[in-house]
Chains A and B, each alone.
Chain A
Amino acid sequence: MTVGLNHFLVIGAVLFVLGIYAMLSRRNVIAVLMGVELILNAANINFIAFSRYGGVNINGQMAAIFVIVIAAGEAAVALAIVLNIYKNFKSVNPSEVDSLRD
């Protein structure tokens, strides 16, 4: 059995769903962030897969590298926000941080 585009897409989809699940179900902001990373990486796998099996350009790889860079920046900012949340709420449980309501 040869590994084709569909296998990559399935892995990407599984990763994406796992990321969503982590984002929705984790009781720790850090875990949620990890879920976000999973989604980003799922997107990356899709990009690279389409880059490999699609056309002959490397736009998909470039996009994946760009996403990794953005994800690094995002992780830095998000961790800073998490620190601040912890400072303010003495908790990192996202369901306790509900000051967005009303």
Chain B
Amino acid sequence: MLSFLIIIFNQKRLQTKAHLVGLPILGTALVLALYICYSKLSGIPETLNWTTKWIGFGNVPGVGEWNLMTGIMIDNLTAIMLVVVTLISFLVHLFSSVYMKGDIRYSRYYAYLGIFTFSMLGIVIGNNLFALYIFWELVGFSSYSLISHWYEKPGPQQASKKAFIVNRVGDVGMWTGLMLVFGTFHTFNFSDIFAAIQKGLPPTFSLLGMSPEVTLTAVGVLIFCGAVGKSAQFPLHVWLPDAMEGPTPVSALIHAATMVAAGVYLVCRIFPMLTGDAMLVIAMIGGITSFIAATTALTQNDIKKVLAYSTVSQLGYMIMALGVGAFSAGFFHLTTHAMFKACLFLGSGSVIHAMHHSLHHLHDHHTDPQDMRNMGGLLKKMPITGYTFIIATLAISGIPLMSGFMSKDEILAGTTAYSSLQGGIAAVLPYVGFGVAMMTAFYMWRLVFMTFFGKPKNEKIYEHIHESPKAMVIPLIILAGLSFWIWYGANPIDPANGWFMKTWAATPVQIVPKNTAAHFGEHHATFESSKTEEHAAIKESKPEMMAQQEALEHKTHEVAGNGMIISIFMALTGIALAWFMYLKNTTLPDKIAKTFAPLYKFSLNKWYFDELYEFAFVGSFMLFARMCSWFDTNIVDGIVNGVGKSTVLVSKIGGWIDKYIVDGLVNLTAGITQLIGLAFRSVQTGKIQTYLAWTLTGVVIVFAAIAWKLL
């Protein structure tokens, strides 16, 4: 059934007959995915696993008999991801059929969407790291192609290159981690790797002479590097905002809902083998990312840039959640975020579409249709887009009754619990979390207020704005509908007991050796039992790990109530601030910007990350390239030219010798011959009498000679 899925997507890649082909196939895939998900979640508790031999390598030296196996694994994680990917992809296909109408590369666009969806599904259903890696790169490629869809413009070109290169940086780390795992365990299969780690780490499992435990941490962090690249985490987050140069539906599909979620999915997948230290690193990176991105989003003026930074920030949230061990919360947020962020992006697409048409109508080609400063009051003109957008914004800012509230709240609770148990540097994480929650609410409502409320900034443009066609608003309505709480749990304020977290995405048991796992017991008095267990030094690490995870969960429940109140408060504060600044007192933002000019500039320029990279990496690479180029021009080329020149010299000498000596000899011979010929030519007059005279002379001479001899 799943191979069928893959095959139809392959076929779709082949026949690029635009949306008429794409839509039904994705519809089928969606139905299939829903069916799988339903049967998985309701019926079959165990994980489906189907493996087949892919490439037989025979007897590999140093490894022994080994075959590269690949296969399909479907657990709850996969089932949910399948639905998320196919659903959003389907809606984006539908949306694009209008948005991209008349584009010169319409069919190619759909082909790339198809291959993207195919490779994304490949990532999700693969049961081993190798297949995952292959599809991972395919996703990277299709993303690159889609960003550079309008490759005539310099912006998309640069952006796609940037995205590709930055992703590669992360992938190097991931590949290294992969190879380390494979070098030790000779398998890529997830369950085999986990089983092998559980049995105990072999002493050969070592990187640069580190102990096996440290190496396991290193492997976790290295594989996480891939997620850093793909999910746009600090310090590789710079590509995602630039990727907004691509068509807006693509931004919605790839750069908001699915591809960036692949990184989070990867961390979910390898979650059982992450050590305590690795998780701390992951949590910190997530926290840093969400903070940086949120502060940047505060000042951006491009509607898509705001959404992009918001995405980066939310991804940081998810990563942070996984890092602190709140697995279900992180994955929950992935799902809910996919829904409402896709809604937001498609909504912005709808707005941009309308703006674009209006500008086109006015023959205005200079105004940026994506700049929020040109919008305003659009709610009346585009009610459906406006209201769905507001619903999604409510969800992202974490207002009760919305999905975002549930997932975000769980993350915050998990973070708080983790920091109180872990202590140390992790203590800043909840503050970051709550701060980001407030900023998120603020910048999202700033976006909404600037776009949909207030007075229109430009009356002319405003007059020509129309609601988008049906194919564009239907996906918006569906996604907005999915932003409500009811899909994920019955009780909107108790997500932990909702069916999504309780049964669909339960936290897997970690199987890392006990001395590398996070030590919560020592920091928290209520868990004496686990502490004593630890001191008893039980060889089997599993019960202890479970105890620690339970400790985390328990603590999470404890802080959830307070956390919820704080987060609601934060969200409301953010919204109120935004309302005050952008509707009530519209001169205030400028004043604040002027008062805190350095900070404002710092944020507007995205923390100067691009400049930093430009300086640190691009600059040095350029320098290096220039050095190479200099070396090439002056030394390598010099040598080549020298060789060339000496060859020319030698051949000139040769030519001279040839011309004057060899040819001279030849000519000399010829000249002598000619001379002789000339001399004898005069004899050959053709006149008989002359000949006779000569003959006579000859005879006389002969006779004379004979006579002389005789005498």
Which of B232-240, B381-389, B679-687 makes up part of the contact surface? B679-687
| Contact for A101 among B686, B692, B696, CB less than 8 A | B686
Q: CB-CB < 8 A to A95: which residues of B?
A: 687, 689
| Contact for B689 among A32, A99, A101, A102, CB less than 8 A | A32
Complex CA gap A16/B43 in Å reads 144
Q: Would you call B688 and A99 a contact (CB within 8 A)?
A: no
Q: CB-CB < 8 A to A97: which residues of B?
A: 686-688
Q: Would you call B692 and A98 a contact (CB within 8 A)?
A: no
Q: Would you call B684 and A102 a contact (CB within 8 A)?
A: yes
Closest CB of chain B to A38's CB: distance in Å? 14
User: Does B678 reach chain A (CB closer than 8 Å)?
Assistant: no
Q: CB-CB < 8 A to A79: which residues of B?
A: none
Closest CB of chain B to A88's CB: distance in Å? 14
Q: CB-CB < 8 A to A24: which residues of B?
A: 689, 692-693, 696
Q: CB-CB < 8 A to A94: which residues of B?
A: 687-689
Closest CB of chain B to A89's CB: distance in Å? 12
Q: Would you call A23 and B684 a contact (CB within 8 A)?
A: no
User: Does A67 reach chain B (CB closer than 8 Å)?
Assistant: no
Complex CA gap A98/B689 in Å reads 10
Interface of B is mostly: helix
Task: Give the nearest-CB partner of A29 in chain B.
Answer: B688
Closest CB of chain B to A21's CB: distance in Å? 11
User: Does A68 reach chain B (CB closer than 8 Å)?
Assistant: no
User: Does A3 reach chain B (CB closer than 8 Å)?
Assistant: no
Q: CB-CB < 8 A to B687: which residues of A?
A: 94-95, 97-98, 100-101
Q: CB-CB < 8 A to A100: which residues of B?
A: 686-688, 691
User: Does A83 reach chain B (CB closer than 8 Å)?
Assistant: no
Q: CB-CB < 8 A to B692: which residues of A?
A: 23-24
User: Does A63 reach chain B (CB closer than 8 Å)?
Assistant: no
| Contact for B684 among A20, A25, A101, CB less than 8 A | A101
| Contact for A102 among B686, B688, B691, CB less than 8 A | B686
Q: CB-CB < 8 A to A101: which residues of B?
A: 684-687
Chain B 667-708, CB within 8 Å of chain A: the 1/0 string? 000000000000000001111110111001000000000000
Closest CB of chain B to A97's CB: distance in Å? 7
Interface set, chain B 62-86, CB cutoff 8 A to A: none
Interface set, chain A 70-102, CB cutoff 8 A to B: 94-95, 97-102
Closest CB of chain A to B703's CB: distance in Å? 13
Q: Would you call A20 and B686 a contact (CB within 8 A)?
A: no
Complex CA gap A23/B689 in Å reads 7
Complex CA gap A24/B686 in Å reads 14
Q: CB-CB < 8 A to A25: which residues of B?
A: 689
Q: CB-CB < 8 A to B684: which residues of A?
A: 101-102
Complex CA gap A16/B693 in Å reads 14
Q: Would you call A99 and B686 a contact (CB within 8 A)?
A: yes
Q: CB-CB < 8 A to A98: which residues of B?
A: 685-687
Q: CB-CB < 8 A to B693: which residues of A?
A: 24
Closest CB of chain B to A51's CB: distance in Å? 23
Q: CB-CB < 8 A to A102: which residues of B?
A: 684, 686
Closest CB of chain B to A79's CB: distance in Å? 16
Closest CB of chain A to B216's CB: distance in Å? 104
Chain B 527-558, CB within 8 Å of chain A: the 1/0 string? 00000000000000000000000000000000
Q: CB-CB < 8 A to B696: which residues of A?
A: 20, 24
Task: Give the nearest-CB partner of A95 in chain B.
Answer: B687
Complex CA gap A99/B684 in Å reads 11
Closest CB of chain B to A69's CB: distance in Å? 24
Task: Give the nearest-CB partner of A100 in chain B.
Answer: B686
Complex CA gap A24/B695 in Å reads 11
Complex CA gap A15/B578 in Å reads 149
Complex CA gap A24/B689 in Å reads 5
Chain A 14-36, CB within 8 Å of chain B: the 1/0 string? 00000010011100000010000
Closest CB of chain A to B552's CB: distance in Å? 118
Q: CB-CB < 8 A to A23: which residues of B?
A: 689, 692
Task: Give the nearest-CB partner of A96 in chain B.
Answer: B687
Complex CA gap A95/B684 in Å reads 13
Closest CB of chain A to B683's CB: distance in Å? 10
Task: Give the nearest-CB partner of A25 in chain B.
Answer: B689
Q: CB-CB < 8 A to B689: which residues of A?
A: 23-25, 32, 94-95
Closest CB of chain A to B304's CB: distance in Å? 96
Complex CA gap A98/B687 in Å reads 5
Complex CA gap A32/B688 in Å reads 10
Closest CB of chain B to A66's CB: distance in Å? 23
Task: Give the nearest-CB partner of B688 in chain A.
Answer: A94
Complex CA gap A25/B696 in Å reads 14
Closest CB of chain A to B323's CB: distance in Å? 108
Chain A 33-58, CB within 8 Å of chain B: the 1/0 string? 00000000000000000000000000
Closest CB of chain A to B692's CB: distance in Å? 6
Complex CA gap A100/B688 in Å reads 8
Closest CB of chain B to A28's CB: distance in Å? 11
Complex CA gap A68/B59 in Å reads 114
Complex CA gap A25/B685 in Å reads 16
Closest CB of chain B to A36's CB: distance in Å? 10
Closest CB of chain B to A35's CB: distance in Å? 10
Complex CA gap A51/B610 in Å reads 133
Closest CB of chain B to A77's CB: distance in Å? 15
Task: Give the nearest-CB partner of B696 in chain A.
Answer: A20
Complex CA gap A49/B444 in Å reads 151
Closest CB of chain A to B702's CB: distance in Å? 16
Interface set, chain B 438-452, CB cutoff 8 A to A: none
A-B CB contact pairs (8 Å), 13 listed: A20-B696, A24-B689, A24-B692, A24-B696, A95-B687, A97-B688, A98-B685, A98-B686, A100-B686, A101-B684, A101-B687, A102-B684, A102-B686
Return the 5 tightest CB-CB contacts between A and B, nearest first. A101-B686, A98-B686, A100-B686, A95-B687, A98-B687
Task: Please give the residue numbers on chain A whose beta carbons come within 8 Å of chain B beta carbons, in ascending order.
Answer: 20, 23-25, 32, 94-95, 97-102
Beyond contacts A95-B687, A101-B686: 13 other A-B pairs, Cβ-Cβ < 8 A, are A24-B689, A32-B688, A32-B689, A94-B687, A94-B688, A95-B689, A98-B686, A100-B687, A100-B688, A100-B691, A101-B684, A101-B685, A102-B686
